[in-house]
Chain A
Amino acid sequence: MSLSTQTESRANAPAASAEVDASCRAPVLFLFTSALLWLVASGALGLIASLKMHQPLLLVRGAELTYGRILAASSNAFLFGFAAQAILGVTLWMLARLGGTPLVKPIVALLGAIIWNLAVTVGVGGILAGDSSGYEGFEFPSYAVPALLTAYTAIALCAVATYFQRRERDSYVSQWYLLAGLFALPWAYLTVHSLLLINPVRGVAQAAINAWAGAVLREIWLGGAALAVIFYLVPKLLNRPLYSRGYAQIGFWMLLVLGGWTGLHSGAPLPLWMVRMSSFASLLMIFPLFVVAWNLHVTAGGQRVFGADCRVLAFAGSGLVFYLLATLVMAINPLISEAVQFTYYSAAVKHIAFYGAFSMAMFAAIYHIVPRLADADWPCANPMKWHHKLAVAGVMLVALPLAFAGWQQWMGLLDPSADFNQISRTAMRAYRITTIGEILWLAGSLLLVGNLVKLLANRFCPCAALASCTAESNGGAR
């Protein structure tokens, strides 16, 4: 069970895995379950928004269901309902497991998670009610933020305390990414809250701050968490040591320094040096990308695994491929920025990063961690296989049509006398295919939720105890 980076010299013996898992059980299972429910909620909202693109007269009587509001509600439910809780769950469990120590104060983490969910509910409700802050990625109204940050602090303190009490002296690359993310999110949100919502700065400095916070969120918080999971699962499931700790360090620190710079685009009404710096940082992102890819490539070394681990690895592998793709495309973006910015192309890249790279990695983590926490196998193996297929197809069926629509817009806009409405309508044909992708994605997520509910019911609901025996033996047989 121990990773190769762990040393033999120990102050205290590391706690047994079972003890660590037991300490994480309540908060992490709660975080994962509610994360997945938010994912479904976000997917359903996104689907409604998508349907409105087919029919402009759908659901137009109420302001709450207008396109812009549902879209913002959907993306914030994804970011702070699903992503944040999945990351926090992974962080708590991995810091405890890799540190060889039980989670500190699980009850505080659980309380924090409950408050977090209430705050996210208030935030999403606020957006639908028209109280959106108007800053992309941080649309929660200001009244939802204090509770959000309080809940986060409670959970993060448990995580940091657990890290400080670790019994494994050496830290592993996954821990670095998770700790960085643990700080990056509240830093970004606190900056947004104080400088944009409470005491807004003047004019376009707001846009620079919004871009910085968004880039930190995307590159360091979401991207870092995806890498943490991939760096954990690949060596572990293949039973191979990490190829190079030095490479991992280079990749980590470069991401941390560069990540926040990457948010601006050419032509923005900002001083030119900012845009230039941002483009330069984007291009430099090629290096950490290459280092990470090479490190994992050599680590994997053509090994194969089978059974349940294989399916977890399939999620992690797809996540890695999408991560590399998204980061590469974003890195070369400044070169074609003038043509593709404001088109669906940028939406396609964002979709690959959020849904392809990040979510796939989180699914891998959830599939890996939950059976250990619940001390029970997944009741059914087939939904897991189908979830992977549906998720990959879902991401592709959104990203590819979007990229194609973006290309059509680009070509159309080359002629300044061409009718913009006509260009929009042409691109809309491809755009409408994305609804299918959204449905597939949602179906896949529902499979995971169903599987999780079944597992939890079998394991923790006394009335289902008998069924659990048969279900577990079935799972074992697969």
Chain B
Amino acid sequence: MNQAPLFLLGIFAALSTSWFGLVVWPQLQLGQLQPVEIEETGQIYPSARSGLAQQGADVYRANNCAACHTQQVRPGADIARGWGARRTVAQDYLFDTPVMLGSLRIGPDLANIGARQIDDNWHLVHLYKPRLVVENSVMPSYRFLFTKRAIGAKPSLDALKLPDVEAERIEGYEMIPKADALALVAYLRSLRADAPLFEAPLPTKPKPATLSAPSTNSPAKK
């Protein structure tokens, strides 16, 4: 009676086509990728993250930040928006595990957040209560990354520098970032995919300084 083994073999063969295509072959093509030396600067790219930033990547993963934030710059509109100087390519993710590309942009892309926002305190206040620095932000508060502490004789040096309105609200107390908060900010600061690569060179013309430059870019793309 049995055609069953043959049928199961057929299922196996049919499934293995896409398995070879998207699992095995990328490994053959991309598995040997190595850091490269950037011609202009002589630096090795990408370099491994610092220990603190690596811990921050874990905080990013644990809290599934990728649910709302992508880390990939597509050619065209994303660059015009100022989310990156060039498109992101395989080289940029060489040391990421897991690679958290994300699939939905409820918040902005973060592939170059380390180049766009370099103020640690801004990041910390933003994590603490996003609406303090971004008006009507839809991002939830990450209050659990901070400890509330009564101010002693002198304010602590590592306390958040909060905007006045919030400082008054918690009068007599200060917010101290926990280790996870500092690590997460170190990770965010480490996110920049703007080294000029052979496969993804930077645009040759000078970076647009005003808003008019990107908008001249966009009609050509769409």
Contacts and interface: CB of A to CB of B under 8 A. Distances in A.
A206 interface: yes
Nearest to B89: A269
Most chain-A CB neighbours within 10 Å: which of B3, B88, B99, B211?
B99
A348 to B, nearest CB: 11
A260 B19 contact: yes
Given A63-B144, A201-B27, A274-B22, 13 more contacts: A11-B1, A57-B143, A179-B11, A191-B23, A203-B90, A204-B93, A208-B23, A212-B18, A257-B18, A267-B72, A271-B90, A421-B108, A425-B138
A414 to B, nearest CB: 7
B9 to A, nearest CB: 11
Given A164-B4, A183-B12, A139 B138 contact: no
Interface string B47-69: 00000000000000111111110
18 contacts: A57-B129, A66-B63, A72-B67, A132-B64, A133-B98, A164-B2, A200-B97, A204-B30, A205-B31, A260-B18, A261-B21, A268-B72, A414-B77, A415-B215, A415-B218, A417-B215, A424-B106, A425-B136
Contacts of B18: 212, 215-216, 257-261, 281
Given A60-B140, A136-B103, A195 B23 contact: yes
Most chain-B CB neighbours within 10 Å: which of A130, A258, A416?
A416
B148 to A, nearest CB: 10
A60 B142 contact: yes
B205 interface: no
Nearest to B28: A205
A422 to B, nearest CB: 9
Interface string B102-122: 111111100000000000000
Interface residues of A, number: 89
Contact of B22 (A180, A187, A263, A414): A263
Interface residues of B, number: 82
Interface string A196-214: 1000111111111101100
A204 B211 contact: no
B222 interface: yes
Interface string A13-46: 0000000000000000000000000000000000
B7 interface: yes
Contact of A414 (B19, B135, B222): B222
Contacts of B94: 202-203
Interface of B: 1-4, 7-8, 10-12, 14-15, 17-19, 21-23, 26-27, 29-31, 33, 61-68, 70, 72, 74-77, 80-82, 87-108, 129-131, 134-144, 211, 214-215, 217-218, 222
Given A135-B98, A136-B103, A203-B30, A62 B108 contact: no
A53 interface: yes
A181 B130 CA distance: 44
* Majority DSSP secondary structure for residues of A touching B: helix
A131 interface: yes
B14 A270 contact: no
Nearest to A432: B138
A420 interface: yes
Interface stretch (A83-91, A336-344, A439-447): A336-344
Contacts of A196: 98
A207 B71 CA distance: 12
A61 interface: yes
A209 B96 contact: no
Contacts of B103: 136, 341-342, 346
A374 interface: no
Contact of B11 (A11, A256, A281, A341): A256
Contacts of A202: 30-31, 33, 94, 97
Interface string A65-76: 011110110000
Given A67-B67, A132-B64, A416-B81, A206 B99 contact: yes
A60 B141 contact: yes
Given A132-B61, A421-B134, A270 B90 contact: yes
Nearest to B18: A260
A209 B23 contact: yes
A441 B103 CA distance: 24
Interface in A245-300: 253, 256-261, 263-264, 266-271, 274, 277-278, 281
